[in-house]
């Protein structure tokens, strides 16, 4: 995942998750789309100027039971993730990362 721009959060937040900057998260969504992998949700992580990572408590989710077919769920979940990430207001001097679930 590092070669795809990911940051492993184990040493930063103690969780076994990968986080991606906006442009890389959107690339990961396309990667998932090409392989039929849904995105059931995600979290936003902020990095301060000092390099400290914290969860912002902002997130999104997409439930499987909202769709009749698996293919509809894959596309619907990826569309929701893409829209959320594209519309997230990145503000301040820190950087934002997105965890795809």
Q: Tens of pLDDT along 15-57? A: 999 999 999 999 999 999 999 999 999 999 999 989 999 999 9
Poorest-pLDDT segment among 27-36, 60-69, 72-81, 84-93: 84-93
Q: Tens of pLDDT along 48-65? A: 989 999 999 999 999 999
- Distance, in Å, from the CA atom of 44 to the CA atom of 56, rounded to the nearest integer, reads 6
Residue 77 structural domain: 2-100
Tokens 């990362």 belong to residue: 97
Total domains in the chain come to 1
* pTM recorded for the entire structure: 0.92
């Amino acid at each position: 995942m590092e070669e795809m721009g990911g940051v492993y959060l184990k040493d930063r937040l103690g969780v076994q998750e990968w986080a991606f900057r906006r442009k890389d998260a959107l690339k990961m969504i396309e990667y998932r789309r090409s392989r039929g992998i849904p995105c059931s949700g995600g979290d936003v992580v902020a990095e301060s100027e000092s390099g400290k990572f914290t969860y912002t408590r902002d997130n999104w989710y997409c439930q499987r039971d909202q769709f009749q077919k698996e293919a509809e769920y894959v596309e619907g979940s990826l569309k929701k993730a893409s829209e959320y990430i594209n519309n997230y207001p990145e503000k301040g001097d820190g950087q934002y990362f997105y965890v795809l679930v």
